[in-house]
């Protein structure tokens, strides 16, 4: 089973698709079924599924303890791009992120946290994603 990561923004984002050996991160608009299950969790009006270099959200998962592991270097691409996106968007807005198993959109949020993206780095304390965790990345002041 795959992770599904969803992001909520206040502005429309460019959608894309997975291209093998080229894509690090992409956004997809939600199907009616996904929208129905995910919408109640979010305040921001625009919701997207976040895909990665694995053609699903699984490539966004990374353990900071593996940062220097030579076998994990390729696994940094998608998490790095996600951090870059969050850093850029939080210059303008609060950003919302939720992770669940694919198809289990109705599962309740088990953990709700607020993070300042400026305190997060891939090599020290990357945030996951963690199943059924809802994260609000606060706008930078």
Mean pLDDT of 81-106: 96
Domain range for 76 is: 3-137
pLDDT, tens only, 25-41: 999 999 999 999 999 99
Chain centroid, CA 66 distance in Å = 19
What per-residue confidence (pLDDT) applies to 11? 96
Q: What is the mean pLDDT of residues 11-31?
A: 96
**Per-residue pLDDT tens over the stretch 40-81:** 999 999 999 999 999 999 999 999 999 999 999 999 999 999
What integer pLDDT is reported at residue 140 of this predicted model?
87
Total structural domains within the chain: 1
Q: How many CB atoms lie within 10 A of CB 8?
A: 22
Q: How far apart are the first and last CA of the chain?
A: 38
């Amino acid at each position: 089973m795959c992770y599904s990561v969803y992001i909520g923004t206040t502005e429309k984002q460019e959608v894309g698709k997975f291209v093998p050996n080229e894509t690090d991160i992409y956004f997809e608009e939600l199907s009616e079924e996904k929208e129905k299950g995910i919408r109640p969790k979010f305040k921001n009006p625009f919701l997207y599924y976040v895909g990665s270099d694995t053609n699903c959200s699984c490539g966004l998962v990374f353990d900071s303890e593996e940062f220097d592991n030579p076998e994990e270097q390729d696994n940094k691409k998608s998490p790095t791009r996600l951090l870059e996106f969050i850093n850029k968007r939080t210059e303008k807005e609060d950003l919302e992120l939720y992770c669940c198993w694919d198809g289990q959109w109705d599962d309740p949020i088990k953990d709700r946290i607020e993070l300042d993206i400026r305190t997060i780095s891939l090599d020290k304390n990357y945030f996951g994603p963690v199943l059924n965790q809802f994260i609000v990345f606060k706008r930078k002041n």
